[in-house]
Amino acid sequence: MKEPTFSKTVLTCLKFVLFLPLSSFFVWIGDLFGSEIIACLLWPLVLTAFYLISRKKLIPPVIAVNGILAGVLILAFTVSMILAGGNTASLLMKKVFFCAGFLYPGMIVFTGEIVLLLVVLTSLSAFFLSVFLQKRAAVLKKAAPALAAAVICIAVMGYCYANSDLVRYGGHGFQYMHGYSSTDFAEYTVYYEPSKLVKPDSPAEIFFEGEENMPKLDGAEACYPLYAAAAKAVYRNIGEIERSYLNDKDIQSSNGKIVRFTNTVRGFWCLIYPMKGEYTVDLFFGARPSEDQLKDASWQKVELEITPIGREAFIFFVEPDNPVTDLTSDQLRQIYHGSITNWAQVGGKDQEICAFQRPNNSGSQTMMQYFMGDVTLKAPKTYEYVMTMGDGVDQVAQYANEEGAIGYSFRYFVEDLHQEGNVRVLSVDGIPPTLENIKNGTYPLSVDLCLISRKNDPNPNVQKMIDFMLSDTGQEIVEKTGYAGVR
């Protein structure tokens, strides 16, 4: 077969390059359907049509161009992943993604993992489609070593990513509705059926009918199943109401309009900075506020009313094979101060202690700060996370089952919601954090589960909801959910 001339080769490459800006169009199509993966599936189909209408004798240079381009990209990403420790959100990887976008006009605005997937997939699909149309098995045979190297590179990237700080310490990353959580709460929403929310044995004494009469609820992550169950018990048709707002873009920063969950920091912020619409919170469920949150409320001239509605345990946990089963309050403080650094110092094996903390102003971190008292907390273990091209942020590393690890949270979160897997809860001062010990007050780190509102709120239904949570039915919901009641 006659080989194409140099001019035709150049023309083919130009056609290919000029055709590539359409890739950005398909990315936007994918975004409309809520998934960039759709773009990656559509683009090779378009390439197929492009090559089918091309003259077959112009395909060999396209094979070479795309084979070399895919190889260079895979090698570049592999080296970058190794240097970045597998963290795709590192500044180094962001720069690589950005540079890769210049190889395909119209894609330089995409600086995330989609660039790696779409660019490499485009080149590889063009390569294989061209080979298929040429029906040249010899091409694949010659390219076999390069393809094997590509497979090895992809495996190396996967290994680096799986062992990166972002994966190990970034939390569990469940996505439900429009928020993020370390627990999959899909079955605890007020509209999900069959629901995991508890139900009281007898009907509630009061009911709220109509959206305008329903106080807006938010709270700490561990409290979501509690206040969602309470709302389902007294808010008429709340399931249908919230389901109607699932695709409402005005509430996409949370996961509900009336019964919502964002996180402790944002939910509390919306309580003390009340505004119209989705940002208003009338009742916040969680642990007592941090010193910073109390200062924010004072600065905003918002007086808070804190009503205990249940009891919970602040707990510490370790690996199951750690021989230490009990620590004193003082030993825990010294571990998190940095004075005790090896498990052998508290009766364990000769092993360095890896003490994990939680993000500032989260419910568990606030309780830890109260627990420490005048003893200072050492700097937490962190990892770098990059949101934009120049925005590197140190995130607090979440608990990981590493050798010598210790972490803390609330009992319900760990034991009932199974937020942390494969851990063993420690006794404190010789007393385990059982429900019985929480109720009788013998567990030393028992804490109040609070309902926080703005004092003298003009909405009368806010106080009615507080009264309901303290009623027999409300306390039944508290205890059935897994907390200790206050009555």
Q: Which residue has the tokens 């109260």?
A: 370
Query: What does the pLDDT read at residue 45?
Result: 59
Query: What does the pLDDT read at residue 184?
Result: 76
Residues 126, 148: one domain? yes
Query: What does the pLDDT read at residue 28?
Result: 54
Which has the minimum average pLDDT: 101-105, 108-112, 246-250? 108-112
Domain region containing 121: 6-163
Q: Which residue has the tokens 């028992």?
A: 446
**Apex 124 CA angle, 24 and 21, nearest 5:** 20
Confidence tier at 227 by pLDDT (50, 70, 90): very high
Would you say residue 70 lies in a domain?
yes
Over residues 253-268, the mean pLDDT reads: 79
Query: What does the pLDDT read at residue 223?
Result: 92
Query: What does the pLDDT read at residue 130?
Result: 64
**Apex 164 CA angle, 163 and 166, nearest 5:** 130
C-alpha distances in angstroms, 433 versus 311, 326, 353, 422, 447?
A: 11, 11, 22, 17, 11
Computed over its alpha carbons, how large is the radius of gyration of the chain?
28
Residues 272, 290: one domain? yes
Q: Which residues pair with 88 in a beta bridge?
A: none
Residues 418, 324: one domain? yes
Residues 340, 298: one domain? no
Over residues 394-410, the mean pLDDT reads: 86
Q: Is 55 exposed, middle or buried (0-12, 13-18, 19+ CB in 10 A)?
A: exposed
57 pLDDT exceeds 90? no
Confidence tier at 119 by pLDDT (50, 70, 90): low
Over residues 123-152, the mean pLDDT reads: 72
Q: Which residues pair with 425 in a beta bridge?
A: 317
Would you say residue 189 lies in a domain?
yes
Residues 80, 228: one domain? no
Q: Domain total for the chain?
A: 3
Tell me the one-letter amino acid at 300: Q
317 pLDDT exceeds 60? yes
Please give the distance of CA 257 from its chain centroid, rounded to a whole number: 20
Confidence tier at 108 by pLDDT (50, 70, 90): very low
Look up the pTM and report it: 0.73
Query: What does the pLDDT read at residue 43?
Result: 57
Over residues 187-212, the mean pLDDT reads: 91
Query: What does the pLDDT read at residue 80?
Result: 82
Would you say residue 370 lies in a domain?
yes
Q: Which residue has the higher pLDDT, 179 or 312?
A: 312
350 pLDDT exceeds 80? yes
Confidence tier at 185 by pLDDT (50, 70, 90): confident
Query: What does the pLDDT read at residue 453?
Result: 95
Residues 355, 406: one domain? yes
Over residues 406-420, the mean pLDDT reads: 85
Would you say residue 1 lies in a domain?
no
Query: What does the pLDDT read at residue 220?
Result: 86
Q: Which of 129, 163, 197 marks a domain boundary?
A: 163
Is the CB of residue 185 less than 8 Å from the CB of residue 416? no
Residues 361, 437: one domain? yes
Confidence tier at 482 by pLDDT (50, 70, 90): very high
Tell me the one-letter amino acid at 2: K
CA distance 450 to 311: 9
Over residues 264-293, the mean pLDDT reads: 82
Q: Report the percent of the chain where pLDDT is more than 90.
A: 38
Confidence tier at 117 by pLDDT (50, 70, 90): low
Q: Which residue has the higher pLDDT, 442 or 28?
A: 442
Q: Which residue has the tokens 């003259």?
A: 55
474 pLDDT exceeds 80? yes
208 pLDDT exceeds 90? yes
Confidence tier at 388 by pLDDT (50, 70, 90): very low
481 pLDDT exceeds 70? yes
Query: What does the pLDDT read at residue 178?
Result: 43
Would you say residue 168 lies in a domain?
no
The bridge status of strand 174-176 relative to strand 304-318 is unpaired
Q: Is omega for the bond preceding 194 within 30 degrees of 0, making it cis?
A: yes
Over residues 471-481, the mean pLDDT reads: 96
Task: Read off the tokens for 213.
Answer: 């009469």
Task: Read off the tokens for 211.
Answer: 């959206």
Would you say residue 218 lies in a domain?
yes
Residues 18, 155: one domain? yes
Would you say residue 486 lies in a domain?
no
Q: What is the 3-state secondary structure (H, E, C) of the chain?
A: CCCCCHHHHHHHHHHHHHHCCHHHHHHHHHHHCCCCHHHHHHHHHHHHHHHHCCCHHHHHHHHHHHHHHHHHHHHHHHHHHHHCCCCCCCHHHHHHHHHHHHCCCCCCCCCCHHHHHHHHHHHHHHHHHHHHHHCCHHHHHHHHHHHHHHHHHHHHHHHHHHCCHHHHHCCCCEEECCEEECCCCHHHCCCCCCCCCCCCCCCCCCCECCHHHCCCEEECHHHHHHHHHHHHHHECCHHHHHHCCCCCHHHCCCCCCCECCCCHHHHHHHHHCCCCHHHCCCEEEECCCCHHHHHHHHHCCCCEEEEEEEEEEEEEEECCCCCCCEECHHHHHHHHHCCCCEHHHHCCCCCECEECCCCCCCHHHHHHHHHHCCCCCCCCCEEEEEEECCEEEEEECCCCCCCCEEEEEEHHHHHHCCCCCCCEECEECCECCCHHHHHHCCCCCEEEEEEEEECCCCCHHHHHHHHHHHCHHHHHHHHHHCCECCC
Task: Read off the tokens for 158.
Answer: 């996967």
Q: Report the percent of the chain where pLDDT is more than 70.
A: 68
Over residues 2-16, the mean pLDDT reads: 56
Q: Which residue has the tokens 């590192």?
A: 90
Residues 373, 303: one domain? no
Would you say residue 487 lies in a domain?
no
CA distance 432 to 305: 31
Over residues 147-156, the mean pLDDT reads: 87
Residues 107, 252: one domain? no
Is the CB of residue 36 less than 8 Å from the CB of residue 116? no
Q: Is 247 exposed, middle or buried (0-12, 13-18, 19+ CB in 10 A)?
A: exposed
Over residues 147-170, the mean pLDDT reads: 85
* Sign for the pseudo-dihedral over CA of 311, 309, 232, 436: positive
Q: What is the mean pLDDT of the chain?
A: 79
In this structure, what are the phi and psi dihedrals at residue 207, rounded to the nearest 5 degrees? -140, 150
The CATH number of the domain where 334 resides is what? 3.40.190.10
Other Cβ atoms less than 10 A from the Cβ of 129: the count is 20
Residues 149, 203: one domain? no
Query: What does the pLDDT read at residue 129?
Result: 66
Residues 348, 433: one domain? yes
132 pLDDT exceeds 60? yes
Q: Tell me the range of 87-101, 280-294, 410-424 where mean pLDDT is highest.
A: 280-294
Q: Tell me the range of 186-190, 269-273, 426-430 where mean pLDDT is highest.
A: 426-430
Query: What does the pLDDT read at residue 176?
Result: 46
Over residues 346-368, the mean pLDDT reads: 90
